[in-house]
Structure 1
Amino acid sequence: MTGETAVARARGVVGTPFRLHGRGREGIDCVGLVAVAWAVERVPTGYPLRGGTLAAVSASLSTIGAKAVAEARAGDIVAARPGPAQLHLVVLTEGGFIHADAGLRRVVEVPGAVPWPVAGMWRKEVS
């Protein structure tokens, strides 16, 4: 399968309310969005809204078979730094990205490039 599947799955939860550690229609966060997009059942919980390390994110993604990439494409996951000591995961689309926006309190699709510094990018073949 291609990244198109991951994008379609992520689009399926656009509009879902934001909720830290959320994993379903009642609410979802950026980690939950990755789980939906990549059809991952076991997902970390208990992390703070701010904090954490890129090494920990990378290690978690590698346990589900994700590989770091130098150039991202639709369906890939990008870890960005929207603020000091904060990492945020987004799903890339053909012309933008989907993310769980804590400020807007819902999952949204946004056109254009990720506006924050990119810390890492990963790809996984989804099933």
Structure 2
Amino acid sequence: MHADRPPSATATAIGDLADAIVAEARTWLGVPWRHQGRSRAGVDCAGLVVLVARALELADHDSTAYGRRAQGQGFVEHFRGHMDGIAVTQAKPGDVLVFADQAYPCHCGFLTERLGRLHLLHAHATRRQVIEEPYVGEWPAKIKFAFRFRSLGS
């Protein structure tokens, strides 16, 4: 992009939507963690993605047909149903990251940015609530997939 040319309407709209995704996700900070939760009374990592998508009228595929322990690729298939897979290295704020603790994908959250540093906004079972923390340490090592809402393009 040239400095003397304004961004295209498409680029601006995409940036605005990514910002809206992050802003909506941040309204969930502090909400208690609850396995398969789908409300402000309690939400899990997948529920957070579903409810942010619904709030912004983006396509979502909700399913609570999953246990506390990942089995196979079923968890990640829910994202493939309504989002575009992107290279992990291409993920930007507003995109969804999927992580694996062991062999299978089992956790997800939104990539965000604060003060020029990447963060992860997610419903954290151990911390018992939705949190936003620096995207460092264990998280980059556990990432397996990245997805972008189709409305944002890939």
With normalisation by structure 1, the TM-score equals 0.85
- CA distance change for structure 1 residues 102 and 116 in 2, over 3 Å: closer, same or farther? farther
Partners of 1:8 and 1:57 in 2: how far apart?
A: 25
Secondary structure of 2:121's match?
strand
Structure 2, unaligned stretches of length 5 or more?
1-13
Q: Which residue of 1 aligns with 2:135?
A: 112
Identity %: 29
Q: Which residue of 1 aligns with 2:63?
A: 44
Q: Which residue of 1 aligns with 2:85?
A: 68
Q: Which amino acid aligns with 1:29?
A: D
Q: Which amino acid aligns with 1:14?
A: L
**Residues 1-127 of structure 1: matches in 2 within 5 Å?**
1=14, 2-39=17-54, 42-54=61-73, 56-64=74-82, 66-70=83-87, 71-85=90-104, 87-94=106-113, 95-113=118-136, 114-124=139-149, 125=151
CA deviation after TM superposition for structure 1 residue 41, in Å: 5.9
Higher relative contact order (CA 8 A, sep 6+): 1
Q: Deviations over 1:11-43 (max 9, x none)?
A: 011100000000011100001111122225651
Partners of 1:11 and 1:78 in 2: how far apart?
A: 16
Indicate the larger mover: 94-103 or 39-48: 39-48
Partners of 2:141 and 2:33 in 1: how far apart?
A: 19
Q: Say whether the 8 Å CA contact 1:80–1:89 is kept in structure 2.
A: yes
Instruction: Report which of the two structures shows the higher radius of gyration computed on alpha carbons.
Output: 2
Q: Say whether the 8 Å CA contact 1:81–1:116 is kept in structure 2.
A: no
Secondary structure of 2:80's match?
helix
Q: Which has the higher helix share?
A: 2
Structure 1, unaligned stretches of length 5 or more?
none
